[in-house]
Structure 1
């Protein structure tokens, strides 16, 4: 999991990436390819 300031660039890495809010944090998750995970902040 990468920690980044801007999730927009992480969302562009793969077409299946989704932006999800969990427990006050913003995550990028990808079910088909779990390598592309990121968290903001």
Structure 2
């Protein structure tokens, strides 16, 4: 999983969801699981 300074590029991909887990902002994508990232 990539640590990104900004998750905007991942958030704009189709099927991606922004989730908060343990105080981190995580982007997960069910349609294309390659696009995962976390911030913080």
Q: Specify the TM-score bucket, using the shorter chain as the normaliser.
A: 0.7 to 0.9
TM-score by length of 2: 0.84
TM-score by length of 1: 0.82
* Misfit runs of 4+, over 4 Å: none
Structure 2: gaps spanning 5 or more residues: none
Calculate the aligned-residue CA RMSD, in Å: 0.9
Number of residue pairs aligned between Structure 1 and Structure 2: 40
Structure 1: gaps spanning 5 or more residues: none
Aligned to 1:7: 7
